[in-house]
Amino acid sequence: MLFRAFDGRLMMVLHRPFTFALGKLYEMKDAGDRVEVVREATELDLEAYPTHPCIQPHTPTERKVDC
């Protein structure tokens, strides 16, 4: 879902309804005919680390990749 934060920033939330069910928040940029991800807003989604397949405990063992 795309929305505007109270300070006017364009934001996107992606919901993860499965393992480690949390919403991920991203700051977005309106580029005219598309939107672009500026950065993951980790300070707002209350997770200590950005989403990345090598960071535990966010990756279930069966999906872990060698980094």
> pLDDT band at 59, cuts 50/70/90?
very low
- CA-nearest of 10, 19, 1 to 41 is 10
Please indicate, yes or no, whether the overall pTM of this predicted structure exceeds 0.75: no
Rounded-to-integer distance, Cα 12 and Cα 43, Å: 14
Task: Quote the pLDDT of residue 5.
Answer: 92
Rounded-to-integer distance, Cα 19 and Cα 15, Å: 11
